[in-house]
Structure 1
Amino acid sequence: MIRVLLADDEAMIRAGIRAILGAAEDIEVVAEASDGHEAVALTLQHRPDLCLVDIRMPRLDGLQAAAELQRVAPGTAVVMLTTFSEDEYIADALASGAAGFLLKSGDPRELIAGVHAVAEGGACLSPAVARRVISRFGSGRLGKQAGAQARIEGLTGREREVLALVGAGLSNAEIAGRLHVVEGTVKAYVSQILTRLDVKNRVQAAILAYEAGLVHEH
């Protein structure tokens, strides 16, 4: 069972997300928080597998809560919930090492798939969020294309192919199906790519794929 803590200051949003996650037999919402301080306290109490955290909350916002959660509960992954109007926050959350970004208004199946991906040690990145962030920050805070291309020069052709599919938002299972290999092989490739690129997680690798122009090759 995947144990989830949900943090959002809007009760209706929490109810909606809880209902969506409740449709999955292997996901359980073990606690709900209405602000960042409560999210940290409840995480220490319940030790969930992951926290779904709204980027903007009172008292302690999502970015501050995510940083604190990674400090006091490193075994709990953090996935940020966002809207299209909050691009400026996403770059900061990316730098902090959040395991994923999901749109509140996205497809419910994407939310469930994202929770599963992170619980399995991966990460989730809504393709819509990735495109939006790169469009806004690609020439500034998140780096220039030339620099990104230089970073991926040492990757093999297959590693670049896997990185491009990660950037396109595909899960390990989807990448395995696309490349006609077993999922374990994809996991090994992803782990090696993260090490060779010196990035914290799958989300940062996906952003780098966009910066380097790899996603447009597929």
Structure 2
Amino acid sequence: MLVDDDAEFRGAVMAALQCCSDITPVAAAASRADGLALLSRAPADVMLVAPALPDGSGLEVIRAAVRRWPGCAVMVATTLGDRADLLDCIEAGAAGYLPKDSAPGHILDEIRGLSNGGGSINPLIAHRILMRSRRGEPALSTYEAQALELIARGFTADEAARRMEVSRHTVLSFVRSVYARMQALAASRPDGLAS
């Protein structure tokens, strides 16, 4: 499912999915209200959501999707990899980030990876999480910290996996685990919002 007001991006995603036999698009919306309305349907496995929509925040759609469809993996789709609200989206329940200028093959790989329990991350987000962990939230295991350090230095998940002598899936599982802890911490705050 796709919730994004960028018609060109929606078209690119749908075009990529038409060439793919293992991923089926179920719905698309261009606004917060329409995205929330889609949640009354049968659950999707993966949802791509823009953080900013013409009638409100994508955070509302992410939070509602996580509550209504706990098995759905949510990915933030944005043009700006350094958006301050990406960590807010992760804390709201997103398990990944997809640059809108990604090649069609990369879009499909990210959707598949998310559907299979992995998470996606970029160097800036890894750096921000590491900075937060130095303040105590979230607490990171040695391996999680090592994976984030490598990604923050610009290594891909594949490169980090080779350096750590683990699989790519393991690195992405570390990322997903850190995201889950961030989400639990955000939910435990009195206001339920990111710090």
TM above 0.5: yes
Cα distance between partner residues in 2 of 1:70 and 1:145: 24
RMSD across aligned positions (CA):
3.7
- Which residue does the alignment assign to 1:199? 181
Q: Does 1:53 align with 2:49?
A: yes
If you compute each CA radius of gyration, which structure gives the higher value, 1 or 2?
1
Which amino acid in the other structure matches residue 58 of structure 1? P
Please, what TM-score do these two structures have when normalized by structure 1? 0.65
Decide whether the 8 Å contact of 1:31 with 1:46 is kept in 2.
Answer: no
Query: Of the candidates 13, 18, 21, which is equivalent to residue 17 of structure 1?
Result: 13
Decide whether the 8 Å contact of 2:119 with 2:173 is kept in 1.
Answer: no
Gaps of 5+ in 2: 184-195
Cα distance between partner residues in 1 of 2:168 and 2:84: 34
Q: Secondary structure at the match of 1:121?
A: coil
Query: Of the candidates 112, 116, 123, which is equivalent to residue 116 of structure 1?
Result: 112
Cα distance between partner residues in 1 of 2:157 and 2:97: 14
> How many positions carry a matched residue from both structures?
181
Q: Note the alpha carbon deviations across 1:148-206, whole angstroms, 9 max, x for none.
A: 69944x63xx56545545664416xx76666555678x379739x938x97247xxxxx
Please, what TM-score do these two structures have when normalized by structure 2? 0.71
Residues 165 and 27 of structure 1, relative CA distance in 2, 3 Å threshold: farther
Shift of 1:40: 2.5
Shift of 1:21: 2.7
Gaps of 5+ in 1: 202-218
Identity of aligned residues (%): 25
Q: Does 1:26 align with 2:22?
A: yes
Describe how 1:20-169 pairs up with structure 2 within 5 A.
20-84=16-80, 87-125=83-121, 127=122, 130-131=123-124, 133=125, 138=128, 143=131, 146-147=134-135, 151-152=139-140, 155=142, 160-164=145-149, 168-169=155-156
Residues 60 and 142 of structure 1, relative CA distance in 2, 3 Å threshold: farther
